[in-house]
Amino acid sequence: MAKMDHDYRLNIVLVGDNQCGKSFLLSRYCDGMFVENGIQLWHGIEIKNKIIELKNQSTNEIVKVKLMIFDGNGGCKFKELFYENYLKHQHGFIIMYDVTNLESFNNLSNWISKIKNSYQTSNLYPSPEPILFIVGNKCDLIDDSKITTIVDLKKPQEFCDSLSIPSIHNVSVKENINVDLIFQKLSQLIMDTYPPPKISEIKKIKNVDSGGDSINNCIIN
């Protein structure tokens, strides 16, 4: 059997209102690409992965972690499938809003509720509560005189502080500002609090999540 190229796997889901830049964040982080004025033609559930190195605080070792990042976009048909299957068992959730769109910020509470109502803990996903991370995208447009609806960035920070949710509000996927930091911080938080079993141990856990998590259980490498 070939040796695994990573020690752990973390599943991370991107959610948030349309046009916040979720798909572009996925492409920027995993592929190093951003298409100016690009149109997202893919409608469905997109999955990309990337291997990063993190510090295991319990052993003080550097470990390789494979991030499986899920982005559900497209029509209602796909969104219902996404909500039903992909919010239930995940290690972390990135909730995005657009700093130039007040409505996208106001809808953060709805996304948090949707995740909390769907999330279920398990042996592979041991956190008793979903681990959330809020991201404010398009900070490169804040000083654009053509943009009239700007979120006062004090409000998102106060909102996140009140719920004890970690966050970064000055992100620009277009300019590649703080993109890597999002995933580094969230992944380290997961590993420091409720890390999943090592890949080498997963096959020892038999039938632990067989009911209702068939989509995620089919991806164990």
- Find out whether 32 is annotated in a ligand binding site: no
CB neighbour list of residue 110: distance below 8 Å, 6 or more residues apart: none
Using 50, 70 and 90 to split pLDDT, how confident is the model at 89? confident
- Find out whether 140 is annotated in a ligand binding site: yes
Cα separations in angstroms, 167 against 98, 132, 137, 182:
13, 9, 11, 8
Any domain includes 210: no
Interval 144-169 mean pLDDT:
85
Name the pTM for this structure: 0.87
Using 50, 70 and 90 to split pLDDT, how confident is the model at 204? low
- Find out whether 21 is annotated in a ligand binding site: yes
pLDDT score at 3? 67
- Find out whether 73 is annotated in a ligand binding site: yes
- Find out whether 92 is annotated in a ligand binding site: no
Inter-residue long-range contacts of 34-37, CB under 8 Å, 24+ positions, other chains counted: 34/173, 34/174, 34/176, 36/174
CATH number of the domain residue 44 falls in: 3.40.50.300
3-state secondary structure of 95: strand
Sheet holding 8-16, edge to edge: 44-56, 61-73, 8-16, 92-98, 132-137, 167-168
Which residues of 79-203 form beta strands (DSSP E)? 92-98, 132-137, 167-168
Q: 184-202, pLDDT tens digit by residue?
A: 999 999 999 999 999 888 8
pLDDT score at 201? 85
**CA diameter of the chain:** 58
Any domain includes 132: yes
Q: 49-88, pLDDT tens digit by residue?
A: 999 999 988 888 999 999 999 997 655 555 666 667 778 8
Interval 94-106 mean pLDDT:
95
CB 4 within 8 A of CB 199: yes
Q: 102-154, pLDDT tens digit by residue?
A: 999 999 999 999 999 999 988 889 999 999 999 999 999 987 766 666 778 78
pLDDT score at 146? 65
pLDDT score at 202? 81
Number of domains in the chain: 1
Any domain includes 51: yes
CB neighbour list of residue 167: distance below 8 Å, 6 or more residues apart: 133, 134, 135, 136, 156, 157, 160
Any domain includes 220: no
pLDDT score at 217? 44
3-state secondary structure of 159: helix
Any domain includes 2: no
Any domain includes 167: yes
- Find out whether 72 is annotated in a ligand binding site: yes
pLDDT of 211 strictly over 80: no
Exposed, middle or buried, 188 (CB in 10 Å: 0-12/13-18/19+)? middle
- Find out whether 138 is annotated in a ligand binding site: yes
Interval 3-27 mean pLDDT:
92
- CA dihedral (45, 48, 52, 56) in degrees, to 10, reads 30
3-state secondary structure of 204: coil
pLDDT score at 109? 97
State which residues form the domain around 55. 8-204
pLDDT of 207 strictly over 60: no
- Find out whether 20 is annotated in a ligand binding site: yes
DSSP state of 5: S
Interval 158-181 mean pLDDT:
96
CB 165 within 8 A of CB 134: yes
Any domain includes 213: no
Any domain includes 212: no
pLDDT score at 219? 43
Residues 156, 152: Cα–Cα separation, whole Å: 7
Q: 20-60, pLDDT tens digit by residue?
A: 999 999 999 999 998 776 555 455 678 999 999 999 888 88
